[in-house]
Structure 1
Amino acid sequence: MTRWLLVAAVSAALAGCAAEQLPQQVGATAAAQLPAGVTLVETYTPKAGEIGIPYRKYRLANGLTVLLHEDHSDPLVKVDITYHVGSDRELPGRTGFAHLFEHMMFQGSEHVADEQHFKVVTEAGGELNGTTNSDRTNYFETVPSNQLEKMLWLESDRMGYLLPALTEQKFEVQRATVKNERAQRIDNRPYGRMNERFEQAFYPVGHPYSWPVIGWPEDLDRTTAQDVKDFFRRWYGPNNATLTIGGDIDVNQTLTWVNKYFSDIPRGPDVTPLAKPLVTLDKTRYVSMEDNIHLPLIQIGFPTVYARHKDEAPLDLLANILGGGKTSILYKNLVKDGYAVQAGASHPCQELSCKLTVYALANPAKGSALAPIEKLIRQSIDEFETRGVTDEDLQKVKIQFRAHSIFSLQSVSGKVSSLAANQTFTGNPNQIGNDLARYDAVTKDDVMRVFREYVRGKPSVVISVVPKGGEALVAAADNFTPTKPAIADKAVMGLSAAALPEHSSFDRNVMPLAAKAPVLKVPELWDAKLTDHIAIMGTQSTETPTTELIVYLNGGHRLEPLNKSGLAALTADMLNESSAKRSSEDLAQALELLGSSVSFSASDYQSVIRVTSLTENLDKTIAIVKERLLEPGFKDTDFNRVKQQTLQTLQHMASDPNYLANEGFSKLLFGSDNSLGISSGGTLQTVAGITLADVKAFYAEQYRAGNAQMVTVTDLPEAQLLAKLQPLTAWQGTAMPLPAAGSLPESHPGVVFLIDKPGAAQSVISIGKRALPYDATGDFFKTYLMNYPLGGAFNSRINLNLREDKGYTYGARSFFAGGSELGYFEATASVRTDVTDKALAEFMKEISHYYANGMTPDEQAFMRASISQGKALDYETPYQKAGFIRMIQKYQLPHDFTAEQDKIIAQISIEQLNQLAKQWLDPASMQMLVVGDKSKIEAGLQALGYKVVNLPL
């Protein structure tokens, strides 16, 4: 995805026009009503027809910036606190602090007990997390709106009173957790270490981006608890933070609470911006690495500017032309012709630096060597100068950026994140208008100028990632070796004697009570028939002028023959290609010019068509849906390319331990004679046997109107929406019955099945059994309630044991999953290789104890509060609403089925829940699978007393 799309999609509505100051009289009145020490900085309300996020901006005397955004469309509120500190504030040899602190901030503070932060938010029905990148760290909670004061109590306590609760033991546990996260997300993932190697070659020695955000392992090892405390004192003051609150709030009451909880926290040391010198290279640097992969990868990066530089926008457009999808030069020259399975270009930007990157995954069917791929990439870059920039290139930028800006306004979460990020990095929360204007102003000459200034003939960094033993495949021999910078004497520079909070004006040990619970707003639904065969269910949502339409076709993987597994997915992929009238590139161009998306996919029980459109462009978008659906091209050239890509992707996925675990566990539970035991994506053997004739035959069976149901969320009234869908009434065909389900295998409890993954950095453990199919108010729903304290919440028994107490994993969980015919129970985690046997034993201990004794009354109360209040978060975005509608439609549920669920949650007894544990969690019935390095883990598993059996895939 190019930078200009990424900004819009991830940073939400990057707002524009300078904020409007309050009229003097209104401003004076408002200022007089403000709490002491609070200043109103500005207020902004979009003008008619303007895309923007209304907000009020305040500043406390201690320097804390506060942004408030009212949105009463749903009874929820999001609280975000962003600290302007990321890994860029670390020092050489002292890396990983910012990310480690993201973990430490959840471990309790002076007035909040250990693990209480997670418990309080979850019990309130909320969601929470924190993230760290190179430039900032943020923490956020989304909760029912009656829980807001409690969230401010939590956030303020860890801002002002964290250090008294920071113990050596907590530090060691979280250091182990970070190491597990690194092992899971980087070391045990294909290409996981590529960026670290690339950045070392790309940036000068000691540059803040030359080390990974998660830190180097050896740096984490040398870190002390005192280092962590010093890092907190240096960077986590209120004057380096932005508190953003959005949703169903009362502004005056919210500001009063903010002042109460945050005003007595003293400001921290002053923070000055980092310099932004442009990165330069003296020559092209080649680096390479071997990895447990199948597809060789090449990435080329050119240094450019930094975020919000005047050349950022034209560079984004240049990247889009080079490699932004099916209309790009790289797609035409590498993917379309089969030299690469994937290829693309992007222009990712950070606060201090941007880079224009091009990548390609070589297609081994045409050769795995990367030197020819690099040559094709360089030729494609040269081709741009001849091709130039078209009027349509510029038009797409304007339309797509506007569309993504509108889509990003669909959730309070997106709006709050946008306001927070823009305030942090620019001092102006509202950048939508500015961004729309700067992309709208890009000219053809601008794009050609930045191409010549930053790309044409310029030095770059070229990294080759090849399979183990594939050194001969690299693009060129390495000519660069990174220099290790000297280790900084101190972990933190510029630390002054920060003031400690004085005695609070209130008792911080008392957690605020929640206000009266808000009334949940379940969408009002309508039912209709588009034709005699096609039922449609929808709701009107006027928050944004957009339409979400999803077509579900009963069948999917379940409809295809077992020996043709992957046929449903391959057919969907073909429907994303050419029609009988236009090429896939022409169709992609048409959608880009509308700011719309139309995608076909398939899963276990259904094929799906998802349509997302600005309502103003819905007519033209539906015309493309009709063309793709009723007039598919099914061209030999498309089929051969798509099939080859699928085969290579399957072979690539076999290098991922998590994929192997999913496939192996499905096979263990459901066997090879049932579709649920085989991936909906198929296997190398089944996909290899699929022909274009098979695709056409499956299309004829699957894509019938009689198999289809539709759901929609739109700003249009029902009648107007149905009128716009009339072109699809030409769709015909009766329903196709599903074939008989295959037989199920014998279970093998008490046996550990082992899939060997030599060199795996972690082991993936899966424990479980076949269980109930889905139902909304019966025993399946009740097993969800029963499992919640065991493994369904962050502070569940399993996660607290394996992650927080033992430090074995980055996260562990258990759950019941149910389809329309069958379901299963699974407990799973990725764990350190050296504790695979101990982790398995702890899993079984927790399951056994829960089976024998059930949940406690406190756990039952926690479950009730968390799940019942959490429903306030379920229907916010159009896609969430569409998912809710689909459950009603698919399972023929009453529109108010959630009321029955509420009754069950409130009335189900602890005896009923514990009886369900007795029924479904017998440890003697559990099957066990481990994916890991057999040479390192087999003996330990055998020592537990289990028979270990190799499981081939």
Structure 2
Amino acid sequence: MAEQPLHEHTLGNGLRVVVCEDHVVPLAAVNIWYGVGSRHERAGRTGLAHLFEHLMFQGSANVAEGEHAALLESAGATFNASTSFERTNYYETVPVSHLELALWLEADRMGTLPAALTQANLDNQRDVVKNERRQRYDNQPYGTAFERLCALTFPAGHPYAHTPIGSMEDLDATTLEDCTDFFATWYAPGNAVLSIVGDVDPEDTLAAVERYFGGLPAGPQAPGARPGDLGPLDGVRGEEVDEEVPSPAYFAMFPLPSDGGNDIEAAELAVEILGGGSGSRLYDRMVRRDQIATEVWAGVTRLAGGPSLAIVDAVGPDVDKIAAVLDEELARFAADGPDADETARATAQAERGFFEQTETVTGLANALSANATQFGDPARVFTAPKRAAAVTADDITEMAGRWLAPGARTVLTYGGAK
């Protein structure tokens, strides 16, 4: 995708706005990123950012409970929200004729949500989140693996040591006052980016944004998040999980460089070569050749305020053999690096990922909000293929030797010894 012209504007209350024309289909994507996620939560109130994502659909001063979703559905919109370590986003894609409805709904809950916050809403949505935790994490085979690995990888109290789902105990302890304080602290216009992509006129769209959002009070400046730095690990820390699972499995986590610099580009390509699908080194060695695993996968979670994270998971009957082969392949890769074909394939995969991320108005709006929120530059999204293509085999080798060394990971094993 070639770089597309962006129209950027900051309202008087601090809301950053990005508009991008795309006249292929008569749709408009509205995407808001708030700079708050689980890393901003305080001890004893984990899960509040994700809980709040649910509360944002329970009405506002001028929208009754359940009416937000009903209005969007009647307009033919698709919509959702998500929470991560570093942000919460809300998004809807509507026929362009209903763009102003989407803007009005987002502005009303940004400005007036506390008017609809009730104990009944809190109790209801707390139960929804707790049930989500049971279904997706606690009662799923390997469902708590990522959560457990984060707790092993990061020191106690570190902002990334807990995941967005939070704990049952903290969810139970959350009060209505906690929610109103959380909204007042983090849901101000100055802590948000609004991106609009689609069959729109930029001047008219910016005028509509000013009309709906411009009168909202600026609110307090959001406090800074605690530092999240963490370098490569200096050993292997492990935990055996005593759970009923379909098959023994081995999970490993490696800190990586933070997103935003050149190092993460090389590190992610290294992970792709090692474990990114059936053409990867780990799959070839563990599944095809040695037949010690039935499946192997590796991937990266990019984080801007702390270390990014690489995950390797392998399912197979002998986790000790898996661990030994992983050490061998990591050592070989750090010593010899990738060959030219591996580097080219990984770079092509990165380019494909960029096109998949931005090929729809919905995806592009989210990518613009992400880059504006985390790096202050929405247009940075268009340089992703160029950044990946600039990485050399030597860069990948150096990153692997520093961040993916055999003795630098945390480990979970299911159904076998560490």
- Smaller-chain TM-score bracket: over 0.9
* Alpha carbons 1:80, 1:417 under 8 Å: kept: yes
Shift of 1:162: 0.8
* Alpha carbons 1:194, 1:465 under 8 Å: kept: no
CA distance in 1, matches of 2:407, 2:219: 43
1:297 aligns with: 249
Letter matched to residue 311 of structure 2: T
Q: 1:282 to 1:432 in 2, by over 3 A?
A: closer
Q: How does 1:850-929 map to 2 (within 5 A)?
A: none
* Alpha carbons 2:235, 2:408 under 8 Å: kept: yes
Shift of 1:283: 3.1
Shift of 1:439: 1.7
1:180 and 2:131 matched:
yes
1:358 and 2:324 matched:
no
Shift of 1:248: 1.7
1:261 aligns with: 212
* Alpha carbons 1:235, 1:268 under 8 Å: kept: no
1:430 aligns with: 379
> Which structure 2 segments of 5+ residues have no match?
none
Q: How does 1:724-763 map to 2 (within 5 A)?
A: none
2:292 aligns with: 339
Q: 1:175 to 1:272 in 2, by over 3 A?
A: closer
* Alpha carbons 1:64, 1:243 under 8 Å: kept: yes
Shift of 1:193: 1.3
1:171 aligns with: 122
1:277 and 2:229 matched:
yes
Shift of 1:213: 0.4
* Alpha carbons 2:283, 2:297 under 8 Å: kept: yes
Shift of 1:452: 2.0
CA distance in 1, matches of 2:356, 2:229: 34
Q: 1:130 to 1:433 in 2, by over 3 A?
A: closer
Letter matched to residue 365 of structure 2: V
1:463 and 2:417 matched:
no
Q: How does 1:205-244 map to 2 (within 5 A)?
A: 205-244=156-195
Percent identity over paired residues? 37
Q: How does 1:469-618 map to 2 (within 5 A)?
A: 473-474=416-417, 476=418
* Alpha carbons 1:65, 1:242 under 8 Å: kept: yes
Letter matched to residue 91 of structure 2: F
* Alpha carbons 1:298, 1:462 under 8 Å: kept: yes
Q: 1:281 to 1:452 in 2, by over 3 A?
A: closer
Shift of 1:183: 1.3
CA distance in 2, matches of 1:402, 1:195: 27
Shift of 1:385: 3.9
Q: 1:184 to 1:155 in 2, by over 3 A?
A: same
Partner secondary structure for residue 347 of structure 1: strand
The number of aligned residues is 415
1:287 and 2:236 matched:
no
1:197 aligns with: 148
CA distance in 2, matches of 1:409, 1:349: 17
1:160 and 2:144 matched:
no
Shift of 1:427: 0.8
Letter matched to residue 461 of structure 1: T
Partner secondary structure for residue 128 of structure 2: helix
CA distance in 1, matches of 2:409, 2:315: 18
Shift of 1:297: 1.0
1:317 aligns with: 269
Q: 1:202 to 1:408 in 2, by over 3 A?
A: closer
CA distance in 1, matches of 2:296, 2:186: 40
CA distance in 2, matches of 1:170, 1:208: 28
Shift of 1:282: 4.8
Letter matched to residue 249 of structure 2: L
> Which structure 1 segments of 5+ residues have no match?
1-12, 14-50, 363-367, 467-472, 477-953
Partner secondary structure for residue 379 of structure 2: coil
Partner secondary structure for residue 191 of structure 1: coil
1:74 and 2:25 matched:
yes
* Alpha carbons 2:236, 2:409 under 8 Å: kept: yes
* Alpha carbons 2:273, 2:346 under 8 Å: kept: no
CA distance in 2, matches of 1:433, 1:264: 32
* Alpha carbons 2:150, 2:160 under 8 Å: kept: yes
2:100 aligns with: 149
* Alpha carbons 2:238, 2:410 under 8 Å: kept: yes
CA distance in 1, matches of 2:403, 2:39: 24
1:775 aligns with: none
1:382 aligns with: 331
Shift of 1:191: 1.0
Range that drifts further, 299-308 or 432-441:
432-441
Shift of 1:149: 1.1
Letter matched to residue 167 of structure 1: T
Shift of 1:457: 4.5
Superposed CA deviations along residues 409-434 of structure 1, whole A, max 9, x for unmatched, are 43111111111111111111012453
Partner secondary structure for residue 355 of structure 1: strand
Q: 1:325 to 1:387 in 2, by over 3 A?
A: farther
CA distance in 1, matches of 2:231, 2:337: 26
Superposed CA deviations along residues 259-302 of structure 1, whole A, max 9, x for unmatched, are 11111111122235543422454532111212332111101222
Partner secondary structure for residue 162 of structure 1: helix
* Alpha carbons 2:254, 2:408 under 8 Å: kept: yes
CA distance in 2, matches of 1:433, 1:392: 25
CA distance in 2, matches of 1:307, 1:150: 35
Range that drifts further, 296-305 or 172-181:
296-305
1:112 aligns with: 63
Superposed CA deviations along residues 563-614 of structure 1, whole A, max 9, x for unmatched, are xxxxxxxxxxxxxxxxxxxxxxxxxxxxxxxxxxxxxxxxxxxxxxxxxxxx
CA distance in 2, matches of 1:459, 1:72: 49
Letter matched to residue 298 of structure 2: A
CA distance in 1, matches of 2:221, 2:113: 20
Q: 1:300 to 1:273 in 2, by over 3 A?
A: same
Shift of 1:257: 1.6
CA distance in 1, matches of 2:399, 2:168: 38
CA distance in 1, matches of 2:378, 2:349: 22
Q: 1:433 to 1:420 in 2, by over 3 A?
A: closer
2:4 aligns with: 53
Shift of 1:116: 0.8
CA distance in 2, matches of 1:395, 1:122: 44
Letter matched to residue 390 of structure 1: D
2:350 aligns with: 401
Shift of 1:96: 0.7
2:85 aligns with: 134
Partner secondary structure for residue 294 of structure 2: strand
Q: 1:165 to 1:325 in 2, by over 3 A?
A: closer
Letter matched to residue 116 of structure 1: E
CA distance in 1, matches of 2:339, 2:382: 24
Shift of 1:166: 0.8
Shift of 1:94: 1.2
The CA RMSD measured in Å over matched residues stands at 1.8
Shift of 1:386: 5.0
CA distance in 1, matches of 2:98, 2:131: 33
Partner secondary structure for residue 464 of structure 1: strand
* Alpha carbons 1:74, 1:248 under 8 Å: kept: yes
CA distance in 1, matches of 2:260, 2:211: 36
CA distance in 2, matches of 1:376, 1:394: 22
Partner secondary structure for residue 340 of structure 1: coil
Q: Which has the higher contact order (CA 8 A, sep 6+)?
A: 2
CA distance in 2, matches of 1:445, 1:75: 46
Superposed CA deviations along residues 761-794 of structure 1, whole A, max 9, x for unmatched, are xxxxxxxxxxxxxxxxxxxxxxxxxxxxxxxxxx
